[in-house]
Amino acid sequence: MENLQNHKKEISEKGFTLINDVFSKQEINQIINVIDSIDTSKETFRKSEDLFAIRQFLKEVPESHRFIFNDNIKQIINEVFGNDYFVVKSIYFDKPEKSNWYVSYHQDLTISVDKKLDLNGFGPWTTKQNQFAVQPPIDYLKNIFTIRIHLDDTDENNGALKVVPNSHSKEIYRPETIDWNVETEEICSVNKGGIMIMKPLILHGSNRTTNNQKRRVIHIEFSNMELPEEINWSERLN
């Protein structure tokens, strides 16, 4: 493993970092085999002609845990985040040829919780497939780290994430106000078996796939902050 303190510093300064060779080819193939073998008829599985998203991935596909949480990932979580961090959200998505889409620049501003209620500082709320999401106070968003595990080689030709470096430091940053005379864009190419770590407040998006190559990613968010006692993280996993 590379010097993780350098990656920790890069996340603080730029809002993201890339680490390749976190998973072996065998581990990635084991994860893919698990995904390929599951029942995709549940409402948390979003499909067009191909499966392209699984919400609450770690809940829905528990067989994946032993391959995802390998020694490298555990070391990264402990050294970069802290040993008190736990999972709060997980999604699997693909950009296959028949389910190809463009994602404009945005920040990840919501968390997944178990119920909807009036709570000071929390809102607005959304509900998707009986799952509740809410924009929390900014401190929660600043606290979260996201790991994106790449199951395929990913570059600008198959929908690699593009980001605005250091935009996470500006808190809520509306995409329509981006001044491209000041800001820069960076394409985050990641090898199969590598990861991207990012802060939810970094402005990010992705282009359509142009080379008909898959771009399968497992997106996992981590926090060490407790919610008010009236609600719970809906996907909490220690």
4-223 placed in CATH 1.10.10.10: no
pTM for this entry: 0.94
Q: Which of 195, 200, 202 is nearest to 225 (CA)?
A: 200
pLDDT in tens, 32-91: 999 988 877 766 666 555 557 888 999 999 999 999 999 999 999 999 999 999 999 999
Q: What is the pLDDT of residue 214?
A: 86
pLDDT in tens, 211-237: 888 889 999 999 999 999 999 999 999
Q: Would you list the domain boundaries of the chain? A: 4-223
**What tokens were used for 194?**
């590598």
pLDDT in tens, 132-155: 999 999 999 999 999 999 999 999
**AA identity, residue 163:** V
